[in-house]
Amino acid sequence: MIMRLTAQRKCLAQGLALIADLPGPILEFGLGKGRTYDYLRSHANGRRIIAFDRDIHCPPDCVPAPADLVLGEFRQTMPGAGERLGQPAALAHFDVGSENPAADEALVTWLSAAADPLIAPGAVVISDRAMSNPRWCSLPAPPGGGDGSHFMYRVEG
Ligand SMILES: C[S@@+](CC[C@H](N)C(=O)[O-])C[C@H]1O[C@@H](n2cnc3c(N)ncnc32)[C@H](O)[C@@H]1O
């Protein structure tokens, strides 16, 4: 678990470095206990972060402002999410894995297509499950992030 969380943090740090010159918000799919949201907001230099989850189960100080929180099943909330963004995202972080690999695969297959229109050319995608989209090219894991638990992609134009 510690190795997995370390790898996740390394990937998030690398993703933030790669988008330093790309405008646009960050999308956090899976607010959960707010751990990665807290990391991102601490390191994103004030960049807007919009978090998605079916419900809130993070500490109160990790609950995003109402304008930056999208509550409900992804399949219900993704349509129309673009209007809330204002501009395409520079970074999308998917942390949606469960203990049900088949359900996870179906979900990320759907999310790979549904989230793509929300993500800018040149953006970075980080996920705890392998994802696939014709616009997304695999990136090598950063040093310390290559334990196989996380996947990084660069979005082409
Ligand atoms: C692994 S946890 C996220 C952990 C979080 N990033 C953190 O660092 O604390 C996965 C989260 O995804 C949410 N989730 C999974 N499938 C979902 C779905 N279909 N719609 C909405 N939320 C979903 C769960 O409610 C859960 O909070």
The secondary structure element, H or E, covering residue 84 is helix 81-85
- Spacing, Cα 73 to ligand 1 middle (Å): 10
pLDDT digits (tens, 9 = 90+) for 54-66: 999 999 999 999 9
Which DSSP letter does residue 128 get?
A: S
Query: Is the Cβ atom of 95 under 6 angstroms away from ligand 1?
Result: yes
Asked whether the predicted pLDDT for residue 145 surpasses 90, the reply is no
Tens digits of residue pLDDT in 19-40: 999 999 999 999 999 999 999 9
pTM over 0.95: yes
Whether 157 has a pLDDT exceeding 90, the answer reads no
Per the prediction, the chain carries an average pLDDT of 96
Residue 144 pLDDT more than 90?
no
- Ligand 1 atom 10, closest CA: 96
